[in-house]
Amino acid sequence: MKKYFLAVDIGASSGRHILGTLENGKIKFDEIYRFPNGMENIDGSLCWNTDALFYEIKQGLKKCRELGKIPVCMGIDTWAVDYVLLDENDCPIGKSYGYRDSRMQGMDTKVYEEISLKELYERTGIQKQIFNTIYQLTADREKEPKRLDQAKSLLMIPDYFNFLLTGVKKTEYTNATTTQLVDPETKDWDSSLIKRLGFPEEIFQEIAVPGTFVGNFTEEIQEEIGFDCQVVLPATHDTGSAVAAIPTEDDQALYISSGTWSLMGTELKKADCSLESMKANLTNEGGVDFRFRYLKNIMGLWMIQSVKKEFDTEYSFSYLCEMASKQTIPSIVDCNDESFLAPDSMIKAVKDYCIKTSQQVPKSEWETAAVIYHSLAECYARTIREIESLTGKTYEKIYVVGGGANAGYLNELTAKYTGCTVYAGPSEATAIGSLLLQMRYAGCFKDLKEARNCVAQSFEIEIYEPENIGGKAS
């Protein structure tokens, strides 16, 4: 009898329920339910509708029952850094703010009044990004102190959904590290840092690693859904699960988890919290089995997604790539510039950057797309040079996983600009990573190496050789 495992993978623009199983040593999966997601403007703030998202989680579970494919366990992953505050009655306090909301502006200055950026990096190894949880909590402290006064629990978004399903509160390790409040040596909350910043210690929950059993459905959920299920922690940070599904154990390879964001890096056994690493703005996010995902967070396909929304005509991403590949505009923008984080118009933001830097201004949507694709590939090449300098290694392979694995033109440019062989796939790496960790919990794999080998055997990987596409860019 088949054992089914359920990955609930919720991204910034959509969520999906993916049922997986092992057949003849290979992973098979089907998407059984999909739903939209996005930040909503509530009284001038960008927020998540967690009630609507939990409703959709339950609808997808009901779909399992309709299909007669009841999972033995399930796991939820989402984006990082955002959280829900609960009061003494376990009710949410106020809004569930999204990481693109503007309330964090100036909060870095407030944090550095208590601890310098250098010391903060030395203590956590986490890349400075203004939307990190540490700055969001500082915004609570400075702008809405009653939220923290009333709070009895803080749960990251996927941990909150796990709590609603099971009644059990746990904070998953990979997501916890993105708060910039976890000690990379102890793998636990940095309590002295939390005190120093004036955050209430008692709201932070026990940290648990991927593969931890959270609990079974509550009786109320069982009655509503129609079955019981074990809830198990994957890497609840979607990138953590995606990296778990990289089809190699080669430590001379880099990865790009390519989607709304491009997370580019390698795996380390020990965090690099050096000044040089900080200056390169690399981060040491927690990974599976306490590996560190040593990476840079690059703006990613969010830029292309935003441009696509501005077009008068609905074009497919493949057509967008095809048209962009025909353009010759040489302009390059800094994909990590804050002007691209949440502009009213991405097309205008790209044009304005080109004007500001005295470069050729794109005149059409296709030229704008070409600028973005080339800029992403150029950013990948710069990031490789930084990582090579800091690790002392030379990298010849890049594994691209996630939705961006399907962006053939970008993969070609990545091979050209970096001089590396690009291995693209699987595109559903986040869900697959979640399934792998659930399967390992259930005893299907003895370790991560065996699980990754199974990914390599289960999915087609497309290869882009740099010498076939014009060689390494200067």
* Tokens 């501005």, located at residue: 310
Indicate the length of the chain as a whole number. 474
3-state secondary structure of 315: coil
Q: Which one is catalytic: 82, 101, 190, 238?
A: 238
For the range 455-461, what are the long-range contacts, defined as Cβ-Cβ under 8 Å and sequence gap of 24 or more?
A: 455/27, 455/245, 455/246, 455/247, 455/426, 456/247, 456/248, 457/25, 457/26, 458/26, 458/27, 458/28, 458/426, 459/27, 459/247, 459/425, 459/426, 459/432, 460/425, 461/247, 461/423, 461/424, 461/425, 461/426
Nearest Cα to Cα of residue 54 among 172, 160, 135: 160
Q: 189 has which bridge partners?
A: 182
**Beta strand 283-286 pairing with 171-172:** unpaired
d(CA 161, CA 15): 13
Residues whose CB falls within 8 Å of the CB of residue 221, separated by 6 or more in sequence, listed in order: 58, 164, 165, 166
Structure tokens at 361: 């201004």
Q: Are 120 and 132 in contact (CB under 8 A)?
A: no
Structure tokens at 198: 């004036």
Q: How many CB atoms lie within 10 A of CB 402?
A: 31
Provide the phi-psi class of 68: left if phi over 0, else alpha when psi is between -120 and 50, else beta. Answer: left
For the question of residue 344 being annotated catalytic, the response is no
Taking every pair of Cα atoms in the chain, the longest distance, rounded to a whole number of angstroms, is: 64
Please give the radius of gyration of the chain, using alpha carbons only, rounded to the nearest integer.
22
CA angle 349, 351, 352 (to 5 degrees): 65
Q: Are 135 and 83 in contact (CB under 8 A)?
A: no
CA 429 to chain centre: 11
Q: Tell me which residues are annotated as active site.
A: 238
